[in-house]
Amino acid sequence: MFACPATDDFFRSRIDQMIDLRHPLAVLSSRMPWQELEARVAHLFVRKAHTGVAMPDLDLFGEKPQRQSSRSNAGRPRVPLRIMISLLYLKHAFNESDEGVVERWGETPTWQFFAGQAYFEHHRPCDATTLVKFRKLLGEEGVEELLAQTINVAVELKLIKPQKLSRQAGRYAHARQFKRMRRAIKRQRTIVGRLSREMDRKANVLGQAVRAALDQVLNKANRIAAQSAQRKSVKGQRKLYAWHAPEVDCISKGKTRRPYEFGVKVGIASTFKGNLIVGARAFHRNPYDGHTLNEQLEQATILMQDCAPAPDTVFVDLGYRGVDADNPQVRIVHRGKPKRLTALERKQLKRRQAIEPIIGHLKANHRMDRCHLKGEEGDKLHAVLCAAGYNLKWLLRMIAKKGYPSCRSFLRLKKAPP
């Protein structure tokens, strides 16, 4: 290892001496508002007081100094926020799992430079389970902030004009379903019923603890057996389509090749031109498309509040008919009302089709096809993170296309005069 004159460490060279600073990811690392992003999500990680735990005493001069004990049980220091945020961005931008992104981070200098590292470290930044805890602490508010900052960077770098954010195109992404043979369903229902009754008889003699543990499992089994014998669901009771994910719905697509899919409905809003995602939200209980437009517009308005006005025109498909009165703040354009559209709007309506390849890229390249996070909260976080990963990859493509100067040149331009 040679000694680098620009480093404080004689035995190691800096990452900016090892990589090409014209790489789009290296350029983007100097354009991202890391300090602002960390400041906006920092309150989500403040330690909260637990019941029965004494808080430090406060006086007029602040917190009283506490006597240090000889042994500390604090554990390892917390991983820096920028590293954790960059791992979430890179995970969905490059279609990696939690285990894959931490392993690849330790082998890729460009990724470490994006995460704010000065020197290359050939080890994992954290355990893969740390990302699970970090996502839970971020919540829906935190991941929406990650998505909002990608929109702000696109506007700040003039990769997209703020006027283009005032018009949006909306559509929905879904999941999958496979048909089952009726004979196999009948046989499985018989087996499930017999096993359920046998377990019910034997659990009565094993005690209350075992009985309580089996009640939830038996209820799910009986629910599946009962609904498999009916063509339609009982009014007021949802069907159970996944054992470990009861929030999954059966969504009708109306297509010959794949008429139904299992999953959760996700609303995607993109710009009229440029194909930048400005909104992504999961909607459970399979609502009517038009009834979700208000929430989708509310989210997009909040995410764009720092760089663009609220949207005034929305281009949608026929699933949004009949909701004009519920959304008076915007003009809804779809092909179901051709006589009320102007010639320009009829021409612009063709841009609505651009959302379809965006949904395809989200499914194929950014992990939208299947959510491995648990519960309804996991579905909401996953949808926003997939959109953030898509926007990050969009920024990298646009930086490479526009030919922005390297981050070293950017730092020289920003340097104050002597």
Minimal CA–CA distance to 249: which of 259, 239, 234? 239
Minimal CA–CA distance to 242: which of 224, 217, 255? 224
For residue range 320-357, list pLDDT tens digits in order.
999 999 999 999 999 998 889 999 999 999 989 999 99
Q: Per-residue DSSP letters for 314-375? A: EE--GGGTT-TTT-TTSEEE-TT-GGGS-HHHHHHGGGGGGHHHHHHHHHHHSS-S---S-H
pLDDT at 56: 52
Structural domains of the chain ordered from first start: 147-177+251-402 (3.30.420.10), 182-246 (no CATH)
pLDDT at 262: 87
- Work out the number of other CB atoms within 10 angstroms of the CB of residue 310: 15
Owner of token pair 């579905």: 379
Minimal CA–CA distance to 101: which of 130, 143, 79, 81? 130
Owner of token pair 């909040």: 302
Predicted TM-score (pTM) of the model is 0.81
pLDDT at 399: 93
Q: Which residues contact 302 (CB under 8 A, 6 or more apart)?
A: 144, 148
Minimal CA–CA distance to 171: which of 326, 368, 338? 368
pLDDT at 25: 95
pLDDT at 8: 66
pLDDT at 236: 64
Q: Which residues of the chain have pLDDT under 70?
A: 1-8, 10, 47-75, 170-182, 204, 206-207, 231-236, 405-418
